[in-house]
Structure 1
């Protein structure tokens, strides 16, 4: 995909996340890696008003410098830091979805109450400690929480998912919210049974070819 197509993909994903109830208004943010830079949604723009030309372009080696008519999301720092630390990640979505955010307010990891947790690379989706939005401390916590994972909860804040493409990342956003809902409802009903780490890691291997199918061009 060229940069024009990637900008359009970000806009489409932002609108789809709002349609699915994963974000609303100007909440949350998305980005795509493009070479040695990142395309990041602008600060304070509702998804329905977003357009490709409003997406900010930030060099990965920079500290907030950008090209574009509007400044990037106030969360730009963790986008850049994730890309720097994770060469396998090309797309990031941050969301304030109801169930994932609810679990984050409880400051609880999501355990392996369902095998779909394997979509995130391990037997838990971690919840990292609270830090104010947009800060270097939050970014540090996020990068640590995403070690060998493709999803993380942010205490009293929301969640982040990652992927090789925006399509894969959006798939994970939907799955994380569903997983959080199952955990929440299961905990209300009783004590959910947690699958073993060994079982989940076997499923992680199977999931390397599971989910949305992307062409080699999309994955490049």
Structure 2
């Protein structure tokens, strides 16, 4: 895709986040790897009002276009791309169940085999830091190295994948897992989990199964 097409795809992804109930207002942000940097949503503009011209290019050195301001979270998006070459799109949202689990400062353990969609045996929760800071980006770097989906304490979710369709799919899947986890926790604090051996089997199967989403 060219820049215009990718910019429109970012907007479509933002609107779908809202439609799926994964975001609200101007919360969250979406980006995609582009040239030697990324394209990302701007700060403070409602998704419904976005046009491709609003989408901001940020270089790998953190510089961005004159007259445009990227999302305040641009730094951890860039960090994801630098840390993992298999990630080409990043979705960040404040979905209700993911945010609730993050408030509890809990990682989502292997309560269901679909946790393996993250590429890990758990979806980690990284420590809290003020949004947009180098400190938060450093925590994101540690988390994203382990899993393509991570929770940010007292904040929300980051999901990174090979393309925007897959990143959106992963964000939605983790929200379902977070909902399941909260419901299980309401019954018992000792939620049963799959063992590491079984999760490794699933992780291996996922390498060939994929997500059934075309590039």
50 and 193 in structure 1: CA distance in 2 versus 1, 3 angstrom threshold: same
Look up the match of 2:193.
194
Cα deviation for residue 200 of structure 1 reads 1.1
Cα deviation for residue 189 of structure 1 reads 2.0
Tell me which stretches of 4 or more aligned residues in structure 1 moved more than 4 Å.
none
Cα deviation for residue 213 of structure 1 reads 2.8
Residue 80 of structure 2: which of 79, 82, 100 is its match?
82
> C-alpha separation between the residues in 2 aligned to 1:123 and 1:100?
17
Alignment deviations for residues 151-202 of structure 1 (CA, whole Å, 9 cap, x no partner): 0000001110000000100000100100000000011122421001111121
Look up the match of 2:206.
207
Structure 2: unaligned runs, 5 residues or longer: none
Look up the match of 1:185.
183
- For residue 176 of structure 2, give the secondary structure of its aligned residue in structure 1: helix
Tell me the TM-score normalized by structure 2. Answer: 0.96
Tell me the TM-score normalized by structure 1. Answer: 0.94
**How well do the aligned residues superpose, as a CA RMSD in angstroms?**
1.1
1:22 pairs with 2:22: yes
Cα deviation for residue 69 of structure 1 reads 4.3
> C-alpha separation between the residues in 2 aligned to 1:68 and 1:152?
32
> C-alpha separation between the residues in 2 aligned to 1:81 and 1:168?
19
Alignment of 1:63-142 (within 5 A): 63=62, 65-67=63-65, 69-142=67-140
More displaced 10-residue stretch of structure 1: 165-174 or 183-192: 183-192
68 and 173 in structure 1: CA distance in 2 versus 1, 3 angstrom threshold: farther
Alignment of 1:35-74 (within 5 A): 35-60=35-60, 62-63=61-62, 65-67=63-65, 69-74=67-72
> C-alpha separation between the residues in 1 aligned to 2:11 and 2:204?
32
> C-alpha separation between the residues in 2 aligned to 1:75 and 1:109?
22
Cα deviation for residue 68 of structure 1 reads 6.0
Cα deviation for residue 147 of structure 1 reads 1.3
> C-alpha separation between the residues in 1 aligned to 2:9 and 2:43?
18
Q: 2:90–2:164: 8 Å Cα contact kept in structure 1?
A: yes
- For residue 18 of structure 1, give the secondary structure of its aligned residue in structure 2: helix
Q: 1:56–1:69: 8 Å Cα contact kept in structure 2?
A: no
> C-alpha separation between the residues in 1 aligned to 2:4 and 2:198?
42
> C-alpha separation between the residues in 2 aligned to 1:103 and 1:76?
23
> C-alpha separation between the residues in 2 aligned to 1:38 and 1:68?
15
Structure 1: unaligned runs, 5 residues or longer: none
More displaced 10-residue stretch of structure 1: 165-174 or 205-214: 205-214
